[in-house]
Amino acid sequence: MTHEILTLPDGRALAYHRTRGRGPGVVFLGGFRSDMTGTKAQFLEAWARARGLGFLRFDYTGHGASSGLFRDGCVGDWARDAADALTHLTEGPQILVGSSMGGWIALLLATRLPGRLRGLVGIAAAPDFTEDSMWANFSEDQRRRLSSEGALAVPSDYSDEPYVITRRLIEDGRRNLVLRDPLDLPFPVRLLHGTADEDVDTSVALRILAHATAEDLRLTLVKGADHRFSAPENLELIARTLEEIL
């Protein structure tokens, strides 16, 4: 299917696929350096279409088919992309499904556009990872190089090419942390996390559970599931979780 483009006044061009249907709709928020063609996004699109639900998947700037370069972006930019996609491409209440970094962005949207949300599902959610994972695990030499040179290449388990981590990414991340200030989630929230996740430790999910203020917040730990959370049984769990919220 050929994607569509949302062109914004500042020149950003966001590629997206939208399925029209009844509400509440579902919006998928992908992870760091992922795009809207991933297994979870396409599975959920088919699931929503089969139920006549509205569904949106899109690429942040610097990701997939959208405009911009990945290394120029940061979490604040990608959260703005998500807010614009939610505002311009959906109507009425939406359920956000955030995978990895998308879980962080979903929590940012929950603080900025709470009236638009009917629920939130975090899959291996990784809020504040630029500070608590990247920066915290850099050596003193890496920190000095990042500060003086403005960028640092680090190996990736998901690509033959290293990730280029920029000083701007780290500094912007500090302006968008969600686990330091009050986090009010006035709608159903479900966190799904695999015990074999080697990228985001289960302690992150437990920290969200302890930190957020919410009347209906549940965490499901899946023994043996990895960070991708894309095995058939994992996908079915995501679908059942959405059906429960609906």
- Cα atoms in the Cβ-side hemisphere of radius 13 Å centred on 92: 10
Reading the block at residue 42, the tokens are 């396409």
Give the three-class secondary structure for 52. Answer: coil
Closest by alpha carbon to 108, among 63, 137, 77, 136? 77
The strand pair at 4-7 and 13-19 is best described as antiparallel
Q: Which amino acid is at 117?
A: L
DSSP 35: -
Residue ranges of alpha helices (H) inside the chain are: 39-50, 75-89, 101-112, 129, 136-137, 140-149, 167-175, 202-211, 232-245
Q: Which residue has the tokens 């999910």?
A: 205
Which of the residues are catalytic?
100, 197, 227
Residues 95/25, Cβ–Cβ less than 8 Å: yes
22-29 and 53-58 strand pairing: parallel
Q: How many CB atoms lie within 10 A of CB 96?
A: 27
**What's the alpha-carbon Rg for the chain, to the nearest Å?**
17
Distance CA 173, CA 7 (A): 25
